[in-house]
Structure 1
């Protein structure tokens, strides 16, 4: 693979605006001509599509965003691969200005903004030059989608790269946010823009989402259009933006509107437990508000790195599970992909799993008259340990969401051929010295575990990615309620989420209900032990790209770093309140934009 070094300047210039041509020259065919495109409504929709498709780019959910950027920062995973300095920096919360993942994320997000800006420019052009009055509602719907997408990209940019969130009293609003670029750049000079203040950026995001909700009001998508942005997606993200900046009074009614009027409900746990693993019947379900569609077909190419028109992603390469080898040993275990990351050991304890490290013992059922295989292994997990693990699942003394998120060695199974299944084993990429102190569970959420990923041209991902779902809205509403003195409502919506996880009816009291907002949780660490709201956001939305933003806006990073303590690839996790809450503006951007300033601490 090649490294992509682009600046904001490059990403904001798209359209070929036309010029006098020498008769011997040939016009470019890889760009639109802004003098005569689009001329039809389908042409206009084609300009909108890249704003959506960019979410599956290699820099974003196609490859890096969830399995590297979020998983590393949040310590969803531990990094078993030491060969990438930027990746190690990320997992140690100790990023430099030359970090390639910060650079790629910046590129991917601003490309999405460029795509949305392009559409809005072309929508105005088309409406003025070619449209009929009857097409106005459809054009405005698409404008609403583009504004939602632009706000979504800026939301991610500001949460990663903005110097501060804004407190209820307004503090932080004067810090440096990201540059707001809202039109197509016609020249290089137009890209030399400074950073806006955090208040300006968040004001822009909320205004965009308000306009998107208005333009999309009443819009319903079916068939091939399922998955396009809706009024409720815009309102859910708007409510989230208000919560993130402690505008509790504005957050409560908009989130309650989504809860009451969107028609969404929490899916039952029987569906939830498999809702992240590529089952077609679970896609665009009753809880989903906005998700990225992912298809397993790689069309013969290498996933998102293929030049084919893929709708797939390749994040499953990175955190693929491991299974027993053909000889029935963990030593010769088989990885279903690259196996760069495994489930961080400290997450077991947070979910309430406290059995310690498992040991292998002689298999009492081993048939010495037959070769040792995964069906006839010489050693197995201690049967007493396995029985205790199974009892914890059955009795739910461990949070059931652990088993949605992870695969337990010797208890869960996976397949490397799509037909036969064998036990998961301790993670094979783990350094030898750690195999007696780490259980090495495999990832399960958003992971392909029914086949070797290379049997699918390294593009075996099949699970759609939820960016907004109702459980998130419930917990945001609970947070807004708690911060406006309505503790009873806050507690009820926290408990609704927990009840679903434990298989109880959502709307009635249950044996697992928290009694108050400081009740004991499954976790034992200082950040989560007696904070049900924090714990439920961590456990419910685990590995979905939310927790890093929660850590930063609540400023609990030092506690997280102390809890997770180490990364296998790089030693001790670092933390500095002066810089670690903010990703650095990439050095490439500083070097190409004379108006750009670096964040404090870098």
Structure 2
């Protein structure tokens, strides 16, 4: 009888377990709603949204550099990471690959955190000015996360409330996704201050929202809307708030961060008290540096997983400065055999000459590396690591000026666009475009803008977006980037949506031709 009783009890336990609602929250864990009670909670909540930037390798620590640079014609997977090389070469067969699926998932983690701020902070009794600012920050951050999702995945679902396990959202159209980006940034801007000081330095400002808003409009080829948004910097409230730095390279050194040209930076720092030099993972080691320098640095001082294409060097050499010297932005942008114009015996690579490390080959097969993410300008630096403190300048005033000129030209106001290109060129020591190439047609001016964005912005994650916006993605780019031999129009403009998400959510559909 005892055996029968025990067996019956076991069967009843199993039957009860089968009826359990596995979506029911653990009653022993604190709930989301129980957290959002005080002003301090609101501050912690918005700080958690910013911390998504540092989450593992999938956002601004590493992968978003890959997506914007290596997937474009300016870079490629140059090391032994075959998965990286295949994905960047438009040869992806695993739609759950961490390079893409991890980026998608972590962007949605950021959106989930922003949605909590937007859902719960309005109900907290706290300083109203601070409350409005935090809400504006959350909308900016959600707009930025959706900007990346829309740019790289095309058709993300729009989720505007804290997610529940039973949610099954549908894909938005590309137009709907961009509309949400615009809505978030438009609403964020008036709630944000013009600047910050002290520990708040680096938070989203009104200029950051207006700059990203202009970029979102331009990405959709909405030139009038883009020009209106970007005019905030030229004739509006932001006039005079930003200026180009005298030294171009100051925009890429850890010692000159958050300067007059910076519109929005991803903040990184090196913490000497961290007891590891492993990759960035906020859930495990709370590393607040960035690992991109380790993966972009040349062989012998880093992994060299991402390299720059040699054609870029020639693009910089198309035009000398007004004094007849080489464009100084080349040396600040690329590390190669002749970063020092005198050649490989004078070009220094982390304390040694290029010639001593790699030989004196200066031909097309000689390696080129992106420099803006590196720390080789620091005295005594002999190698890179996983905790670079060098901020990523996501939006610079120079980019604002070139976008404004592009928008004006798109509206047929080519003559009015010249002065804003001139400002960027003169800072680099080149003759003003009004002297070098006056009277360009609208099409010629756009071609010039394409060149100017290469020489000013190479290695800053915007090249893939530029090519997508201009409709220039295609096999024809294979002449300067052989990976584009694999590019299929109507397919590779976007990544595949992770198959794991589609398996869990029958309302999601895959992107075209995947």
Contact 1:495 1:514 in 2 (8 A): no
Residue in 2 that maps onto 1:311:
288
Match of 2:171 among 195, 211, 235: 195
Q: Could you list the per-position Cα deviations for residues 211-248 of structure 1 after superposition, in whole angstroms to 9, with x for gaps in the alignment?
A: 101222x4531111011111111111111111122222
Q: CA deviation at 1:437?
A: 4.3
Q: Could you list the per-position Cα deviations for residues 287-311 of structure 1 after superposition, in whole angstroms to 9, with x for gaps in the alignment?
A: 1111011113352222414733332
Contact 2:58 2:102 in 1 (8 A): yes
- In structure 2, the gaps of 5 or more residues are 1-22, 338-343
How far, CA to CA, are the matches of 2:446 and 2:228 in structure 1? 28
Q: CA deviation at 1:53?
A: 1.3
How far, CA to CA, are the matches of 1:196 and 1:108 in structure 2? 18
Residue in 2 that maps onto 1:7:
none
Q: CA deviation at 1:452?
A: 9.0
Residue in 2 that maps onto 1:246:
221
Q: Is 1:149 aligned to 2:141, yes or no?
A: yes
Q: Is 1:48 aligned to 2:46, yes or no?
A: yes
Q: Is 1:594 aligned to 2:506, yes or no?
A: yes
Q: CA deviation at 1:73?
A: 0.6
How far, CA to CA, are the matches of 2:226 and 2:289 in structure 1? 35
How far, CA to CA, are the matches of 1:414 and 1:113 in structure 2? 40
Q: Is 1:515 aligned to 2:438, yes or no?
A: yes
How far, CA to CA, are the matches of 1:199 and 1:315 in structure 2? 32
Match of 2:454 among 538, 541, 546: 538
Q: Is 1:292 aligned to 2:286, yes or no?
A: no
Residues 65-80 of structure 1 aligned to structure 2 (within 5 Å): 65-66=64-65, 68-80=66-78
Residues 205-224 of structure 1 aligned to structure 2 (within 5 Å): 205-216=181-192, 218-224=193-199
Residue in 2 that maps onto 1:255:
230
Closer, same or farther: CA 113–498 of 1 in aligned 2, 3 Å: same
Q: Is 1:225 aligned to 2:200, yes or no?
A: yes
How far, CA to CA, are the matches of 1:446 and 1:516 in structure 2? 37
Q: Structure 1 residue runs of 4+, over 6 Å off?
A: 16-19, 451-456, 527-530
Match of 1:413 among 328, 332, 348: 348
Contact 1:561 1:574 in 2 (8 A): no
How far, CA to CA, are the matches of 1:427 and 1:593 in structure 2? 52
Closer, same or farther: CA 70–427 of 1 in aligned 2, 3 Å: farther
Residue in 1 that maps onto 2:427:
500
How far, CA to CA, are the matches of 2:302 and 2:292 in structure 1? 10
How far, CA to CA, are the matches of 1:146 and 1:248 in structure 2? 27
- In structure 1, the gaps of 5 or more residues are 1-15, 22-26, 163-176, 323-334, 355-391, 416-420, 520-526
**Partner SS, residue 275 of structure 1:** helix
Q: CA deviation at 1:516?
A: 4.0
Q: TM-score if structure 1 supplies the norm length?
A: 0.73
* RMSD of aligned alpha carbons: 3.0
**Between 579-588 and 336-345, the greater mean CA deviation after superposition:** 336-345
Match of 1:447 among 374, 384, 390: 374
How far, CA to CA, are the matches of 1:106 and 1:320 in structure 2? 26
**Greater percentage in helix:** 2
**Partner SS, residue 467 of structure 1:** strand
How far, CA to CA, are the matches of 1:294 and 1:230 in structure 2? 18
Closer, same or farther: CA 105–37 of 1 in aligned 2, 3 Å: same
Residues 359-398 of structure 1 aligned to structure 2 (within 5 Å): 396=324, 398=326
Contact 1:453 1:460 in 2 (8 A): no
Contact 2:189 2:206 in 1 (8 A): yes
Residue in 2 that maps onto 1:343:
308
Q: TM-score if structure 2 supplies the norm length?
A: 0.84
Match of 2:492 among 572, 580, 584: 580
Q: Could you list the per-position Cα deviations for residues 86-145 of structure 1 after superposition, in whole angstroms to 9, with x for gaps in the alignment?
A: x1223323434344311111112111111101111221342xxxx15xx11211110000
Match of 1:422 among 352, 355, 366: 352
Contact 1:453 1:459 in 2 (8 A): no
Closer, same or farther: CA 142–83 of 1 in aligned 2, 3 Å: closer
How far, CA to CA, are the matches of 1:560 and 1:229 in structure 2? 39
Residue in 2 that maps onto 1:265:
242
How far, CA to CA, are the matches of 1:213 and 1:245 in structure 2? 20
Contact 1:528 1:534 in 2 (8 A): no
**Partner SS, residue 399 of structure 2:** helix
Match of 2:153 among 157, 161, 180: 161
Contact 2:279 2:386 in 1 (8 A): yes
Residues 72-151 of structure 1 aligned to structure 2 (within 5 Å): 72-85=70-83, 87-96=84-93, 97-126=95-124, 131-132=125-126, 135-151=127-143
Closer, same or farther: CA 251–544 of 1 in aligned 2, 3 Å: same
Q: CA deviation at 1:600?
A: 1.1
**Partner SS, residue 395 of structure 2:** strand
How far, CA to CA, are the matches of 1:533 and 1:239 in structure 2? 16
Contact 2:69 2:75 in 1 (8 A): yes
Residues 454-533 of structure 1 aligned to structure 2 (within 5 Å): 458-502=385-429, 509=432, 513-517=436-440, 531-533=447-449
How far, CA to CA, are the matches of 1:229 and 1:548 in structure 2? 24
